Structure 1
Amino acid sequence: MQQTQPARHWWTIGRRRSLLSRRYSTQSQSHSPPPWRPASALDEWVERDVRPISLRQLTFFGRTLTESRLISSANYVRTELPTRIAHRLREIQKLPYVIVANPHLSMVYELYYKAFERFRVVPEIRTLADNDKFCDILRHTLKEHLVVIPNLAMGVLESRELMPPDQMDHFMNTLLRARISRRVIAEQHLALTETFNSPWHFPDSHTRSDSNMEFVGEVFLRCNAKEVIERCGKLSQDMLRQCAGSDKIPDICIKGHLDATFPYILSHLEYIIGELLRNSIQAVNEKYQELLEPPPPIEVLICEAPQHVIVRISDQGGGIPRDLLPYLWSFSKGPRSKSQLENLGQVPAMAATMQELTVSKERKHADKETFRESSLDSLSSRPPNLRLGIGLPMSRVYAEYWAGSLELHSLEGYGVDAFLQISKLGNKNEQVTTRAAIDAV
């Protein structure tokens, strides 16, 4: 069909706006089509290369924090953000026009373009006062973009018939990786600024007695796999207990190298582990809720190797239904797309207002030393019955972002083994795009 063919340089063709308005006037009165903009506005920034960073670089740069280093960090973020956003805007512009016309994807495009325009005109940061103003812009933009993930997912689901599924998944993976990369450098700089402005910060001192010595910005230097599993497991168990009103919740048994530690961004690891444990706990609960016998425990094995830490999560929840297996890692297809779309519609309001469940608030008080506010809170804290269908593919994106991996093996009728591999040394650069498209940045 003609409408599914890629529209060449649609962002420069104003006459298409009227066609778009008619097409979507019956769908949504609150979303307008992408406005006309000259393509040349992006050209300068698209020609620039993205400069990836590693956890080790973030750690070494922020460990000894001085005023000049903080200003240097601000200028890196100031130039890197519009560069990374520009590449993604150009990638969106290459999609078939009818897909970008989707109200949800159009909203994301507008948010990205507004952010691009906002950051590209920020002048060079020379003083701490300049940095404070820049940080205000960062905070505003991060909050404004909390609705991006659910809107991306809804847009992809609604457009799944307009483009081959593998291309749509590639698009979604690339946008998510890029989004993670932008939030990492922005949140890292905000955390470094907060550290620099704190009353206990002494640039010339190498000894710090408080709990924050374990953090360099957002990087947790001694991330302990066992503690994260226990914390995420308790959160998932408590949420299911509240939702189901039952105490027949499977225990979590942790074995292996219980002292394994590594540098990592804690919110990333908590999201991945939380999604895997949530899936296992729910599967076991559903299988055994009508039986008199207690549910079997979920077994977690931690293995520490010279360069990696591997976490295996095993459950006896019956395995993954055969009809869902082909769609396990896909954002754009599957037999339950309709229910996922309805559930995703409830998430933007949660993210936009930063609503959190009581369990999450309790966790704040219980884990004051390691708790960090995260853009993933509204997803991690959602009720167990709010199934979105994006947990596994998003977890894989987060796992691969720092050069790790996530694999699942299902035994139908028995259970699932999930294998999460984490780079222990923190010396791998962020994987800004999917491995198959590393040259497309």
Structure 2
Amino acid sequence: MYCMTSCLVISSQYSIPGTEMGRDYLNWSNEKPMLVFHCITFCYGVPPMSTTQMCCHVTTGSANACEKTSFVFLRQELPVRLANIMKEIDFLPDKLLSTPSLQLLQSWYATSLMEVVGFLEKEPDDKNILKKFTETLVSIRNRHNNVVPTMAQGVVEYKDAFGSDPVTNQNVQYFLDRFYMSRISTRMIMNQHSLIFDGSANPAHPKHIGTIDPDCDVTEVVKDAFDSSKMLCEQYYLTSPEIDITQVNAKGPDQPLRIVYVPSHLYHMLFELFKNAMRATVETHEMALHLPPVKVRVSLGSEDLTIKISDRGGGVPLRKIERLFSYMYSTAPSPVDIDNSRNAPLAGFGYGLPISRLYAKYFQGDLQLYSMEGYGTSAVIYLKALSSESVERLPVYNQSAIRHYQTSNEADDWCMPSKDPKKLGKYERRS
């Protein structure tokens, strides 16, 4: 962590005059005393980690030394990542912050921050402390399981009550991309520690280092995600398209396409894209005897691992492409019960594509859509082929971020077509 100073004080009565870097979190339960959290962090940047570093810093040396190293790192790093994003929550519209969902979500983050900070002065050589820390990480992870649907529900509550405007949409989009990316990063580093040091093995994936597969077979993950999507499609539509896979390994022809990656992240992206491709294909060709297949091309080069998924689902107009990645434009009905959201992840909020793009970007990749209206859509996932280049992409709370929230929407400096064509008759040359 590149910091000038980093301080966090938990108090029930003290305040820090003359600073805006604190936020008072009122008690979320009548039975508990009011707590005030003052988080002061002057950071040059949160240090991103590569997949190589995530594997090495928990596997180098003796088991006990590795756990101590991970413990010391996380007890310093997690408060910074949590505090950074908690400060950005302050810049959301007050009416959004006042929704029950946002109040609940802030209480989760405040509680988790307190729990991690409680280990700052603990002795890393104490095995009981290390065990308790791992248990705390698991507890935090479970507490935050429903962060995505809870935040989404808050946005829905806000839109239903107050509507939306371009400036709010822009700021909420900017915030949610950073908020969900922060969540991906905190869960990633917590899972690395808890899965490795909780004392239990993973018989299904014995070679995994936490959530990372150092020899991830990309084609197998593609097939797994397709099979799951196919089963879901057949349950709903009673039919589904087949898959046509082509793979190219520029590094070694006829060799499997393997990279160091997080299979669950890749599966999440692929599952979402296959669901969309299958639905579009079935609905576009509902009267056809045979459905056109979903074509998948996987290519491993010297820098990139690229996956292209192409369907014949009718395509999407160009003007709607960017809306597919917007959190504020979803027209899907909201889930009735957030507590059951894990049964159908993100169902009803239309967050599948924007969250999938964040998973791709997390390790310096990307996810892009290219569509031909009337024909079909191609989705392309770009991943880094080298683990040393698969470095975290993290939001940092600084003056640039603050200015983004404070900047209003300026007038467009390009002329835009009006709905009604301009009558040019009076400008015609007279003969």
Give me the whole-angstrom Cα distance separating, in 1, the residues matched to 2:339 and 2:320. Answer: 25
Structure with max Cα Rg? 2
Q: Is residue 71–residue 128 contact of structure 1 (8 Å, CA) maintained in 2?
A: no
Corresponding residue for 1:24?
A: none
1:427 aligns with 2:388: yes
Q: Secondary structure at the match of 2:296?
A: strand
C-alpha RMSD over aligned residues: 3.0
Q: Secondary structure at the match of 2:374?
A: coil
Give me the whole-angstrom Cα distance separating, in 2, the residues matched to 1:438 and 1:397. Answer: 23
Give me the whole-angstrom Cα distance separating, in 2, the residues matched to 1:139 and 1:293. Answer: 50
- Percentage of identical aligned residues: 25
Corresponding residue for 1:86?
A: 83
Letter aligned with residue 189 of structure 1? H
Corresponding residue for 2:411?
A: none
How many residue pairs align between the two structures? 366
Give me the whole-angstrom Cα distance separating, in 1, the residues matched to 2:275 and 2:25. Answer: 47
Give me the whole-angstrom Cα distance separating, in 2, the residues matched to 1:66 and 1:397. Answer: 33
Choose which of 47, 60, 72 in structure 1 pairs with 2:56.
60
Corresponding residue for 1:415?
A: 376
Corresponding residue for 2:355?
A: 394
Equivalent positions of 1:182-221 (< 5 A) are 182-194=186-198, 197=199, 212=205, 214-221=207-214
Choose which of 234, 240, 245 in structure 2 pairs with 1:249.
240
Q: Secondary structure at the match of 2:313?
A: coil
Letter aligned with residue 216 of structure 1? I
Q: Secondary structure at the match of 1:85?
A: helix
Over residues 94-134 of structure 1, what are the superposed CA-to-partner deviations in whole Å (9 max), with x where a residue is unaligned? 33322211221221111111111111112343233211111
Equivalent positions of 1:1-80 (< 5 A) are 11-12=23-24, 38=36, 41-43=38-40, 45=41, 49-64=45-60, 66-80=63-77
Choose which of 358, 366, 372 in structure 2 pairs with 1:405.
366
Q: Is residue 262–residue 425 contact of structure 1 (8 Å, CA) maintained in 2?
A: yes
Corresponding residue for 1:158?
A: 157
Give me the whole-angstrom Cα distance separating, in 1, the residues matched to 2:76 and 2:398. Answer: 23
Do the aligned partners of residues 407 and 326 (structure 1) sit closer, same or farther apart at CA in structure 2, a change above 3 Å counting?
A: closer
Unaligned residue ranges in structure 2 (runs of 5+): 1-19, 250-255, 403-431
Give the C-alpha shift of residue 324 in structure 1: 3.7
Choose which of 246, 249, 266 in structure 2 pairs with 1:269.
266
Q: Which structure exhibits the higher relative contact order, with contacts defined as CA atoms closer than 8 Å and separated by 6 or more residues? A: 1
Q: Is residue 319–residue 412 contact of structure 1 (8 Å, CA) maintained in 2?
A: yes
Over residues 65-115 of structure 1, what are the superposed CA-to-partner deviations in whole Å (9 max), with x where a residue is unaligned? 521111110121122111111111111123332221122122111111111
Bigger fraction of residues in strand: 2
**TM norm structure 1:** 0.76
Do the aligned partners of residues 95 and 37 (structure 1) sit closer, same or farther apart at CA in structure 2, a change above 3 Å counting?
A: farther
Do the aligned partners of residues 142 and 273 (structure 1) sit closer, same or farther apart at CA in structure 2, a change above 3 Å counting?
A: same
Q: Is residue 326–residue 354 contact of structure 2 (8 Å, CA) maintained in 1?
A: yes
Give the C-alpha shift of residue 254 in structure 1: 0.6
Give me the whole-angstrom Cα distance separating, in 1, the residues matched to 2:399 and 2:231. Answer: 41
Give the C-alpha shift of residue 223 in structure 1: 1.1
Stretch deviating more after TM superposition (323-332 or 264-273): 323-332
Do the aligned partners of residues 31 and 252 (structure 1) sit closer, same or farther apart at CA in structure 2, a change above 3 Å counting?
A: farther
Corresponding residue for 1:362?
A: none
Choose which of 213, 228, 235 in structure 2 pairs with 1:235.
228
Corresponding residue for 2:329?
A: 333
